[in-house]
Amino acid sequence: MTAAPALAPGRTASLLAGRDFLAPTVQRAVESLHLPAGAWVLDAGTGSGAALPALARAAGGAGSVRAVDTDPDVLPLAAHHAAHHGMGARVSVEHADLIDVAGHAATARGGGFDAIWAGDVIGPSAFADPAAAVAVLTRALRPGGVLALFHTHDQPVFLPGHAQLERLVRAAAERHRGATPDGHNHHDRHLPWLQAAGLERLTLDVFPRIGLRIETDRAARIYLDTAVWPQMWESALACGPQVGMTENDLSDLHALTTPGGPRYVLDDPGYYILHPTVLATGRRGRAGQR
């Protein structure tokens, strides 16, 4: 069995592949917010800027988006993405802590955002107390403003027909990321956190990304080869035995995810991807106290 592919040199490629693959679902999710024309939007934890074009378009020509992230290495990707889509003038990208930014907006005269978008940010991997982070973001909204918590890792199907193996790989990936497998800090508590923060008109929507014809879905194929398979393999090697993966499981995973191999799963007739994403939203009451 070969060694796991090194991820560090391919981090940019992995980020871009995931961004391109999920672009249609991000677009639909942002459109569902029905932002007012001229909206002032915070992209909290922008990463590679996946939501920036959609947010800027939704805010309109008179609107603007402030994108922040604590990782300075990803900010050039975000700025370039906005500019590539003709939205550079409507977007500012900066190295900052979103809690600091939100705290300042909550107290600044005339401050507050019409919308805050947090994609794959609010959860135990980033915050010891995610509910408290949601409360801080809530206070940074203007009356009537919307807080949108978007999550992209809810039970995707990448290995159809191999459900048991995929469950093991998913468990290994959760452990490798250090994610909390259960409890009040898990990301699937988004809706209760919004409610606890006092937000109203709560919604929960699913926006699936489906790939049925992988031979023509270039973004899906690049995503699998560049991001999904290497991450699966790294997680399986690092944490597979801890979650019950055997040597046979590792061999099967290697065979199924090796492009050009005789068992490569993408060459299986009827192969598909099902990748749900979840959007939880809440709105600040118009009569609520600032």
The domain ranges of the chain are 8-283
Neighbour-count burial for 243-264, b at 16+ CB within 10 Å, e otherwise: bebeeebbebbbebbeeeeeee
Q: Which long-range contacts (CB under 8 A, 24 or more apart) does 76-80 make?
A: 77/12, 77/15, 77/16, 77/47, 77/48, 77/49, 78/46, 78/47, 78/48, 78/49, 78/52, 79/49, 80/49
Return the pLDDT at 287: 64
Cα–chain center distance at 104: 25
Residues 6+ apart with CB under 8 A from 8: none
Q: Is 114 exposed, middle or buried (0-12, 13-18, 19+ CB in 10 A)?
A: buried
pLDDT single digits (tens) 93-113: 999 999 999 999 998 876 799
CATH class assigned to 8-283: alpha beta
pTM above 0.75, yes or no: yes
Mean of the per-residue pLDDT values of the chain? 91
* Res 245 pLDDT > 50: yes
pLDDT single digits (tens) 173-217: 988 887 665 666 577 889 999 999 999 999 999 999 999 989 899
pLDDT single digits (tens) 208-233: 999 998 989 999 999 999 999 999 99
